[in-house]
A and B are shown apart, each in its own frame.
Chain A
Amino acid sequence: MRDETAEDENWGQQFDRLPATPDERVVEARPTRTEVVEWWVERFGIDPKMFDGYTFWEKGAGKIWAFNGEVVDPIEVQGLGMRILRTRQRHWKPSTNAVQRFCRDATKNVIELSPGEATAFVAGHDQQLDWWEGDWGYLTAAHELAGEREPLGVGLYLHGELRSTVPKGRQEELVKLD
């Protein structure tokens, strides 16, 4: 049961707003709004203004949600905006939906896939892509669609291999793609 008095507990059934800065932090190890925005800026080179209207929330340990509006803190609901990031682990992991939503204009760590590679990626296959000369770790995988680059999802690049992290529920939607 929830202890109403224990404000420093990270309770899994409610959303708690991230503190703006470390000075305002009450719950230990909870990331701050600044850290979350800076992570996206540093990792993908996106414009921080993209998050100006957003509030950031934690539900359960480390799961960060972005909401484009204002509600009371804390709030007990089933969902609040979009799950964008998994924190409280050594390498923070962005979500497929967040990368699709926020990384269209990313300037860093975007791996552009050929049509065949893109199809394999969204089907959930890991691929040997030795030609990538950028960073290891979580990348935005993208391909060209209707004349522009469009993000597909998150790939984990390690030792020359791009691992697809496209969730099963999204893969199924492409079974009949060819």
Chain B
Amino acid sequence: MNPLERYAPLVDDEAAFLEACERSLPSVVRVNTIKTTVERAREALDDEGVAYEPTDWHPGILKLENSSPGTNWPYFHGWLHGQEEVSALPAIALDPQPGERIWDTCAAPGSKTTQIAAMMDDEGVLIGNDNNLGRLSALRHNAERLGVTNLVVSNQDARNFSMKPFGERTPDKSGSFEQFDRVLVDAPCSCEGTCRKNPDVLDEWTMNHVASVAGIQKGILRRAVQVTKPGGTVVYSTCTFAPEENEAVLDFVLEREDCEIVAWDVPDGFETAPGITEWEDDEYDSSVTNARRVYPHQNDTGGFFTAKLEVNA
């Protein structure tokens, strides 16, 4: 089945939703403020005659009109990074600060990780973790090209992420810590939200995969809450529309860990829909409406889901 039809009843305008999912996405880059400013990056693109259009909700995210990234000077210098427009949302919800300790649970290939590093002014401890060693080399390559120097690259299963390498058992040792200020869980998922970039995801979609990946998502999100300080922030994001992988995961973790789902400020000019409280035979905690769903027809982007959790003091 085409999974998009499964989710069409959730949206305000089914026809617009299905039509948007058919269109391919423009090439989008994020300006890397570790190495340059938005002004200089735009000037360099202008000098090379690369046409672009700034998005109306984020000055550092530019839609390229023709070329792909990777073929111009500002890209070589690590001033630009190819990143899907909508995937800039989780770091914005996370709101990382310079000097904090932050864990990105599923970091490779690193678009969101490097965005977080830039928002930290490249200061503090940012752990970019991924369980796939091959994908980690892409993370390392991207981070170094973008000039990131506050990243610790780690290769663990996020579901039982050990704090031991960071000095959990030697709290008196300089530099040791056992909890994070903020954690991003950008979870592996069914990815129908990326169908405008990679239509194959729709053909490969199965209900079995939804069920198995939801188990992984729950495990990672639980661990994320457990290693976050009281009062700290966890952001959960996916690029799927499946409630089983979004609201159901939040609902599961709310019941088992001491945390709550809080509202977050979506940038002005970016349209979203609230999380849903009912799906098929299930009902979810009413606070999941604080999560934001993004459908492709709303802002002409990919599809996305982002929730912000606060760990209770």
Contacts and interface: CB of A to CB of B under 8 A. Distances in A.
B295 interface: no
B165 to A, nearest CB: 5
B140 interface: yes
B165 A75 contact: yes
A93 to B, nearest CB: 16
Interface string A61-75: 000001111111101
B248 interface: no
Contact of B123 (A68, A78, A147, A169): A68
Contacts of B152: 67, 71, 75, 77, 79-81
A156 interface: no
A71 B125 contact: yes
Interface in B33-79: 34-36, 40-41, 43-44, 47, 70-78
B153 A78 contact: yes
B74 A76 contact: no
B136 to A, nearest CB: 6
A1 interface: no
Contacts of B148: 82
Interface string B154-167: 11000000000111
B208 interface: no
Interface string A156-178: 00000000000001100111110
B141 A169 contact: yes
B147 A82 contact: yes
B165 A101 contact: no
Interface in B128-149: 136, 140-141, 143-145, 147-149
Contact of A71 (B74, B147, B175): B175
Interface residues of A, number: 36
B140 A77 contact: no
B232 to A, nearest CB: 17
A49 to B, nearest CB: 14
A101 B35 contact: yes
B125 A173 contact: no
Contacts of B166: 71-72, 75
B124 interface: yes
21 contacts: A68-B122, A69-B126, A69-B150, A70-B175, A71-B125, A71-B167, A72-B165, A72-B167, A72-B174, A73-B174, A77-B153, A78-B153, A79-B136, A79-B143, A79-B152, A81-B150, A101-B149, A146-B36, A146-B41, A176-B71, A177-B71
Interface of B: 34-36, 40-41, 43-44, 47, 70-78, 122-126, 136, 140-141, 143-145, 147-155, 165-167, 170, 173-176
Given A72-B173, A145-B47, A173-B75, 18 more contacts: A68-B122, A69-B124, A71-B166, A72-B166, A72-B176, A73-B173, A75-B166, A79-B136, A79-B140, A79-B143, A79-B153, A82-B147, A145-B44, A145-B73, A146-B40, A146-B74, A147-B43, A174-B76
Interface of A: 53-54, 66-73, 75-83, 97, 100-101, 122, 145-148, 150, 152, 169-170, 173-177
